[in-house]
Structure 1
Amino acid sequence: MSEAADNTLRLALERIKELGNLSEEKGRLTRTLLSPASREVASRLMAWMEEIKMQVSHNAMGTVRGVLPGTQPRALPLLIGSHFDTAVGAGKYDGVLGIVVGLAALERLAADGIVLPVPVHLLGFADQEGVRFHTTYLGSRGVCGDFDEATYALRDDTNTTLSTFLALAGWTEDSTDIEYAPGSARGFLEVHIEQGRVLEEAGQPAGLVTAICGQSRVVGSVRGRAEHAATTPMELRHDALTGAAECLLAIEKMARENPPLLASVGKMQIDPGTSNSVPGVASFTLDLRHPEDAVRAEFLEKLRARCSAIVTQRGLKLEWRVVLDHDGVSCDVELGRRLAGALTTATGAVPRLASGAGHDAVIMAQVAPIAMLFVRCRGGLSHHPDEFVAEKDVGAAIEVVFRFLKSFLVGG
């Protein structure tokens, strides 16, 4: 490792640790939209950006940006970014890693005296996890002009609307609009921990994301008849829970047999829910994900049909309500080619994988082509204090982004 690479890695690790100590709760890491801890992180990010002569700004929501004009300042900019808010009781790498790695790669360029022809914008989004207003991507949606009246009418747990919150608690002093229209940027790169174990199983420090899976969410209810458990013979029962259980096993079986389909039942409610009653209603949630929207839609219908057949055979009824249907996003081929080249040089391999989780890149795809780099995290653990990325893997990520940026010196 060169001296410049060693210095930027050391500084990046120090910064991740430093930001990991900024929390609004004692004893665990929690940073929500515009909390004092969140604003402190934003201020430090801008200070670090200024150290390499970036032109810095923030908007009223607290999203920050640093701009390097490049030798062709009117050319479409390349965007790099991620979020710096956290889940409740989170780890210190989710989100922040992407911003710090992007900054470290730009510092490597500066140390080598390299000025890119294209402008580079480094973004730190103030809200992605959606803890305060119970919705995701507020930071990236804000810079893409994706807010409507319904968004501003969102309420937090104190019954305060987003519009009122921003008016009273927003970071208005010295703020400026940070907005991107469709087609106004050359591309968007996000670096993020994998939040899974694919790279760990493959023994690779980083991988190329091919797509961010679309997702469907369903609320299903199996309805039978609630009866006394001590007086109703087994052959006469219409047990909603056992019918639902068979549905859930069928859902799991279909997902296991059709990778990369992901199907998860994360919540279940039983009525009447007493130990001496035959369940009359068993309701469950279904989270279905796949990188191809048409395939996801096909499996969603297959699962509905299979569950319907199961409950009908048992003399039960099925209610199936789709409450969310979000299309997936494919990563850009050309940006992926550059990122794959950087991966090959830096790590010797190009693992390719789809992201089951959503990321800010989903929203940024509205305005620019996207690319994503996943970084190995121990055990795939995320949103947890034990979330961990090895020092050498942080270094590999910086090296990949550094080489990705240098690719714009050739051919623009």
Structure 2
Amino acid sequence: MFRRLKTSQIVTDVVAAVVFFVIAWPLETVLASGAYRLEYGFGSVGHALFGLLIAALFSGALALRRLSPPLALGIAWVGALVQMGLGRPPSFSDVAIFGVLYATAAYGSRLVYWAGFASALVGALVITVYLFAGPVFAGGGLSWQTLPLALVVLVAGGFALGLSWTIGALVRTAVRARENREAQQRAEAETAAEQERVRIARDMHDVVAHSLAVVIAQADGARYAAAADPAVATDALATISSTARSALADVRLLLGQLRHRQGDGPQPTLADLEELYAQVRAAGVPLRVDVDPAPPGEPTAAAQLTVYRILQEALTNALRHGAPGSAVDVRLSWLPDRVELDVRNPVVPGSQPGRSGHGIIGMRERAQLAGGRLDAADEGGAFIVRATIPLGGPA
């Protein structure tokens, strides 16, 4: 029944209605003078009160047109019926009807929307009948001679009232189109922000999880071997230091992207795989890498980054869940249209790699974003990650 409006909108409507009333009441009083007052036998005070009532009704409808279009439409109809019941001619107060019809189309509910349309049609017919079959305002009442004039009045009234309603309907359509456009833009912005958060989280997970796995493996090895061979501890600390510095540089890069949105910056490529393999080997994991066939030319940057990050996470899982001292097999097949990746490592009996955390999810997302697919599962005591990445797929 009532719409939510800003205080400024309510104040504007009330002020406009008051100004309208100040103009309409004197005009309604003037219309009550002369022949109309004598014909109906009312005195000046009575006609002034009737004019006050009609002006107040239409002014009230005008004040409520945006706050409550159905209530405004009802008050406008009451004002029109009172006006006709008193036998008064059309006046300045009737201008408020156009504003009310506009509001029903622009702001009303679906029911009020069509009620306004029906009111425009019925109102034109009522006005015509009133003027030609009611009090004699058009000269002679309704007859064959005045029928053409009555039709003209009917068409003109329907056009005027319908035009007000149509303008409101056009405004309603424009407002809804703007709201839909804004909602779509908000949804697109939220989707883009969510995708960016997922990308940052995926990169942070890959960088931090791998680096911490290497650091933990080196620290554990150094702690057990330091008593027998201090040189092993020194080498382990060097590996920890280089791994931590590399991870810190990657984290700073990701934080810079998150803060400034100035491009992606340099990303790992196939040339960085040897360093990745060296970190895993330095952590005490035997690593066998088989590349057959070799890359046919220079793969796209997206394909290189996808392969690097999937290998990084798969090797991190091998460090965390692999059987101690067991070898990890990596196979890369660079075919003309795709690259096939296979990482296989024995696991400790009873362990369930990939059942918790976000590593498998992140690898699968990377493969899907590149247009490929990834599967990870236990097979005969070994955990196997298989991925197929199309070359030249979407970034």
TM-score when normalising by structure 2: 0.19
Q: Relative CO higher for 1 or 2, CA cutoff 8 Å, sep ≥ 6?
A: 1
TM-score when normalising by structure 1: 0.18
Q: Which has the higher strand share?
A: 1
Compare CA radii of gyration and give the structure with the larger one.
Answer: 2
Q: Which has the higher helix share?
A: 2
